[in-house]
Amino acid sequence: MKIHVKVPATTANLGPGFDALGLALNLWNEAEFACTSDSSISVTVKGEGEKRLPKNADNAIAQAALMIYDLAGKSCKGLHIDCINRVPLGSGMGSSSAAMLTGMLGANGLLGNPFTDEEILKLAIETEGHPDNVAPAMLGGLVASIVHKERVVSMRLPTKANHGPIHATIVLPDFDFPTSQARAILPKEVNRPDAIYNISRVVLVTEALRTGNMELLGIAMKDSLHQPYRLKLIPGAINALEAGKKAGASAVALSGAGPSLIAFMPKEDAAIGAAMKDAFKDAGLDARIFELGTSYEGAEVTIV
């Protein structure tokens, strides 16, 4: 028996929804899991990270899979994982969350699903430390998460675009900006006006995404808690954000902690990504453009 797993890319924060909002994107990592009898853990990788990622038990997907075996009280005699990666590493598009969910779901499938999807999601959130990427990757669509009595509660929000479809352009500069660094630069305390600024806007961001109201999204997708600190550390990011707006994007924000930026508009417009890429180029950075739709589907597990 083999288990096939698909997990989507995600974009988190969405401007003011810091550590609370996430959205699944139509870009998918895939992996196929098979038990082996040679008492080894082996991984093949095609696509993103092909030359960088470990091909043994040190691989993040393999580590997540072995965690499930341990929690289920089962020994893993041998495991082979074939990966097709489309989500860039360290991009602000949820690559680490995708890897974790992929490993957990793959091992869970091989073991006959001893854990429910809800239990897998809870474990993944606890391991990752925050839910903003893990939850939409698992559930699909737009997801809001809160912490209640030391428990994370995640809910998929409606995103029926009454005004029409929503397109996302992600521009990823060639710049190393680890999430640990992006979190370390944030202040430990925020003032009341900044808190109010974000709280008032995050409600409107969810409403704009629910209805597809791009004008409202452009008004609401602004932030005072994390973007001002992070954008200035990414060469060209501030100018790229403004270039995207001038080129016609309805809203532009950091995708997750960055370094990528995400621009939203009613339909694909190559000029927006090109303008943002040029701004990064002026700062000395190459950049890649991803033209994506949102995904209403989350992680998928099938028996091959």
What is the domain-level CATH number for residue 105?
3.30.230.10
In tens, the pLDDT along 218-266 reads: 999 999 999 999 999 999 999 999 999 999 999 999 999 999 999 999 9
Segment 203-207 long-range contacts (CB within 8 Å, at least 24 positions apart): 205/14, 205/15, 205/16, 205/17, 205/21, 206/17, 206/21, 206/142, 206/144, 206/157
Residue 176: C-alpha distances to residues 132, 242, 259, 282, 285 (Å): 21, 21, 8, 17, 11
Statement to judge: residues 124 and 7 lie in one domain: yes
Question: How far apart are alpha carbons 162 and 211 in whole angstroms?
Answer: 5
Statement to judge: residues 51 and 198 lie in one domain: no
Is the pLDDT score of 93 beyond 60?
yes
The answer to whether residue 13 sits within a structural domain is yes
The answer to whether residue 273 sits within a structural domain is yes
Question: How far apart are alpha carbons 246 and 149 in whole angstroms?
Answer: 44
* Omega prior to 259 cis, within 30 of 0: yes
Question: How far apart are alpha carbons 94 and 133 in whole angstroms?
Answer: 6
Statement to judge: residues 212 and 182 lie in one domain: yes
The answer to whether residue 162 sits within a structural domain is no
Mean pLDDT across 55-77? 95
Mean pLDDT across 108-121? 95
List the helix and strand counts (H, then E) for the chain: 10, 11
Is the pLDDT score of 164 beyond 70?
no
* Cβ atoms 165, 26 nearer than 8 A: no
pTM of the model: 0.93
* Phi (first) and psi of residue 34, to 5 degrees: -145, 135
What is the domain-level CATH number for residue 200?
3.30.70.890
